[in-house]
Amino acid sequence: MINKEADCGELGERAIEIFELLRKANPHPKSELVSDGEFQFCVSVILSAQTTDKAVNKATAKLFEVADTPGKMLALGLDGLKEYIKSIGLYNNKAKHIIALSEALMKGYSSKIPMDREVLEKLPGIGRKSANVILNALWGMEYIAVDTHVLRVSKRLGLTQATTPLAVERDLMELVPQEYIRYASDWLVLHGRYTCLARNPKCVECILSGLCWYTRHFE
């Protein structure tokens, strides 16, 4: 549900201004997950749920030295995997998902990551958000992944009034001009991670403060 405080024309123009400012500040943003290859990135995305990228990178730096392919991950086994990722939240379930994913990739996809969102969503540990992240980051497909940062920032900017990730995704896909969609998620995630914090957002130093609904109404 698009913000109805402003008409669609005004909101669309403001969206252009917002994403143009974000692009000027960081023309080619990218995920902060450290990986080398498609499988490694997918594993990192699964591990990143409700966990910081920094924590994931610390664990995977050693994990990927011994298990950087589906076959090697299966050889490592569930208990072996847990030893590498036990510092990460929800590691027991994540380990099960990664082992199941590795098996599914070997059996059905020749150990390759499928380039199809519907197929990805059916794989262990990969939901819609993760599928969008993977397709966008690995192959530049024009999807917007909505995590807690994107949800918070897009609402504060007045780009949506929706309360669920799927509804926010639909609003943003409708509103954000196509030329910005490729990097929209990364821009909003990084802005939420370093500037538009959940608590004590850094509004004084925010490049979007002049366009922000939150700033106008709560500051």
Exposed/middle/buried for 184, CB within 10 Å: 0-12, 13-18, 19+? buried
CA 27 to CA 44: how far, in whole Å?
A: 24
Rg, C-alpha atoms of the chain: 19
Burial label for 9, CB within 10 Å (0-12, 13-18, 19+), is exposed
Q: Which of 82, 147, 171, 186 is catalytic?
A: 147
Q: Which helix (H) or strand (E) holds 49?
A: none
Helix or strand (DSSP H, E) at 159: none
Listed in sequence order, the residues at least 6 apart from 58 whose beta carbon sits closer than 8 Å to its beta carbon are 87
Instruction: Write down the catalytic residue from 129, 155, 171, 186.
Output: 129
Sequence-separated (6 or more) residues with CB below 8 Å from residue 38: 112, 113, 138
Reply yes or no on whether 147 is catalytic. Answer: yes
CA–CA dist 94, 60 (Å, integer): 13
Nearest to 68 by CA among 80, 76, 58: 76
Tokens 């847990």: give the residue. Answer: 82
Enumerate the active-site residues. Answer: 129, 147
